[in-house]
Amino acid sequence: MTIANRKYILIAVTTSSFMTPFMVSSLNLAIPSIGEEFGGDVYALSWVITGYLLASAVFLLPWGRLSDIVGRKKIFTTGIMFFVFSTFLCGLSWSLQSLLIFRIAQGIFSAMFFATSIPILTLSFSPQERGRVLGINSAAVYTGLSLGPVIGGWLNHHLGWQYIFFLTAGLAFLVLYFVLRYMSGEWLGVKGEKFDYTGSVLYGIALVAIMYASSSLAKWNGAIILLISGLIIMVCFVFYELRQKCPLIDVGLFKKNTVFAFSNLAALINYSATYAIGFLISLYLQVARGFDSQIAGLILLSQPVLQALFSPFAGRLSDRIEPRIVATFGMSITTIGLFIFSFLTAETPLWFLVVNLALQGIGFAFFAAPNNNAIMTAVEKKEYGVASAVLGTMRIVGQSLSMVLMTLVTSIYLGQVNISPVYSELITKSTRVSFLIFALICCGGIFASGARGNLEKKECKER
């Protein structure tokens, strides 16, 4: 593979890593506008975000496993191709129902390139270059999160929310061009192994049942039955995987590797407690405080910018200091920030809001990079693919749970009314309660992060 080809592969993969967080963070600003055009209560509108995340969570592991068998490039290219189409359709949506369907399709196809991007970068560059290119890829993610509220807020305010999808579709088409033009060859992880169709179906059904039931507890009496059914199916999935020669996921890895298990649990808790921040603050600023999406986007910018600035430093620090200590410190900062948000009122000074969002960004930076370091260091090289897929699943499931919890709380306070400044007091109250719940969840994350064990001692013992 030539140097030029590797350069374009890096551009393609990092652009794909940029566009999805850009789109999601942009849409947080557009939710009120979508609600104005199509109607719908907070529960229905939250599924514009949750439906995408849930579809990604269901298909991430199966696509990752299938890419090991049939080829990473094949899955990546197919995902980008159909993502262009589904994203363009999102911009052409004529109703909330059609938008939700196209968003679910987006989630399915984005999981294809999300599951294969890191392995493709790892296999395209030498071990001496991998740290640099993976760092560039991480920077692309944070840049997407940073620019989303600004560019997305501007697009929503001046052109309409549809242009967020049109711009994303254009970026995806650019990725597709680079892939078809410069990405040659193929990368296979395993040969001769069978794909676990039964395990994939059990996993998907269980996850959908759990997520949908959790978000519907306040609206549907049968949700508790569906939730219990989903949990039972998930238990059946675990026992089924333990008996498989070629499982969808090596469940035993959680049992035999404490650092890996608790680090992933900490990641799940952190994302569950933090992902809905953008959605909640966007509603609070635009509906309760009356700001337009441009101003709201600029205010929200303080979190991802600080996250991007501090993440490289936190990652390097975790190479010198036990990652458990650095990550637990970050989780503690995040918990404090969430607790502060539980005191929001209609009179809260904007400077105070910006400072606390910045605090959240610093806390997440000190947690995420060291926690990822701990997960990848805790496993052997042959388990890197599994570890990366599991971490990605924890992230997406955590993001989905965050939206589910937020939706449950707002449904209790607002019922099925459409978003309107008339209900600004109830929106502010539900926002405070949501942040208090998230702060309590994050407290549990502090203990999970601290209980993972000493990674350095584990490495010494293995030697």
User: Any idea what the CATH number is for the domain that residue 185 is in?
Assistant: 1.20.1250.20
Domain of residue 113: give its range: 1-191
For 98-122, how does the pLDDT look when each residue is reduced to its tens digit (9 = 90+)?
Answer: 999 999 999 999 989 888 887 787 7
The tokens describing 434, both together, are 């949501």
* Range among 49-58, 349-358, 416-425 with highest mean pLDDT value: 349-358
- The answer on 229 and 262 residing in a single domain is no
| 3 state SS of 41 | strand
Ranges 355-359, 361-365, 458-462, most confident: 355-359
Helix axes 96-114 and 3-38, enclosed angle (nearest 10): 160
Regarding whether 78 and 49 lie in a shared domain, the answer is: yes
Residue 339 to residues 21, 281, 336, 428, 442, Cα–Cα distance (Å): 25, 14, 5, 15, 10
The pLDDT score that the predictor gives to residue 156 is 87
Model pTM score: 0.77
As a whole number, mean pLDDT of residues 302-315 equals: 79
DSSP state of 342: T
Question: By percentage, how much of the chain surpasses pLDDT 90?
Answer: 24
From 243, 276, 307, give the residue that closes a domain.
243
266 in the same domain as 136: no
Both 23 and 137 in one domain: the answer is yes
Residues 452 and 410 in one domain: yes
In this prediction, residues 199-212 reach a mean pLDDT of 89
Q: Is the pLDDT of residue 459 over 50?
A: no
| Side chain identity at residue 148, one-letter code | G
Q: Is the predicted pLDDT of residue 374 greater than 60, yes or no? A: yes
410 shares a domain with 307: yes
Give, as one character, the DSSP assignment of residue 159: T
pLDDT at 231 over 60: yes
Question: Rounded to whole angstroms, how far apart are CA atoms 373 and 371?
Answer: 5
Residue 146 reports pLDDT greater than 50:
yes
Considering only residues 181 and 461, tell me which one the structure prediction assigns the higher pLDDT.
181
Q: What is the mean pLDDT of the chain?
A: 83
Q: At what angle do helices 424-450 and 384-414 cross, to 10 degrees?
A: 150
Same domain, 14 and 159: yes
Residue 130, pLDDT above cutoff 90: no
d(CA 407, CA 221): 16
Residue 462 confidence class, pLDDT cut points 50, 70, 90: very low
pLDDT higher than threshold 70 for residue 134 = no
Distance CA 225, CA 289 (A): 39
Say whether pLDDT at 131 is over 60.
no
Q: Give residue for tokens 């990725």.
A: 175
Q: What does the buried/exposed string (b/e) look like for 252-267 if buried means 16 or more CB atoms within 10 Å of the residue's CB? A: ebbeebebbbbbbbbb
- pLDDT band (50, 70, 90) for residue 335: very high
pLDDT for res 116? 82
Q: In the predicted model, is pLDDT for residue 418 greater than 70?
A: no
Coil/strand/helix, residue 454: coil
For residue 229, the Cα-to-chain-centroid distance in whole angstroms is 25
- Which three-class secondary structure state does DSSP give residue 418? strand
Residues 132 and 214 in one domain: no
Indicate whether 261 and 181 sit together in one domain.
no
Q: Residue 90: pLDDT band by 50, 70, 90 thresholds?
A: very high
Choice among 51-55, 141-145, 377-381, 407-411 with the minimum mean pLDDT = 377-381
Query: Which of these three, 183, 213, 243, is where a domain ends?
Result: 243
Q: Give how many domains the chain has, as a whole number.
A: 3
Predicted local distance difference test score (pLDDT) of residue 163? 93
Tokens representing 364 are 């997440």
Contact 219, 411 (CB under 8 A): yes
Same domain (yes/no): 123, 232: no
Check if the beta carbon of residue 365 is closer than 8 Å to that of residue 330.
Answer: yes
Residue 417 has what pLDDT? 60
Kindly state whether residues 183 and 273 are assigned to the same domain. no
8 A C-beta contact, residue 74 and residue 67 = yes
Stretch 422-449: mean pLDDT: 88
Largest CA distance in the chain: 64
Question: Residue 325: CB partners within 8 Å, gap ≥ 6?
Answer: none
pLDDT, average across residues 393-408: 82
Three-point CA angle 69, 70, 75, nearest 5°: 115
Is a pLDDT exceeding 90 seen at residue 255? no
pLDDT score, position 416 = 64
Tell me which residue of 10, 311, 315, 7 sits closest to 137, measured CA to CA: 10
Task: Indicate whether 461 pLDDT > 60.
Answer: no
291 plus 420 within the same structural domain: yes
Q: How confident is the model at residue 463 (pLDDT cuts 50, 70, 90)?
A: very low
User: What confidence score (pLDDT) does residue 2 get?
Assistant: 54
Q: What is the pLDDT of residue 460?
A: 39
Q: What is the pLDDT of residue 424?
A: 78
* Rounded-to-integer distance, Cα 246 and Cα 197, Å: 11
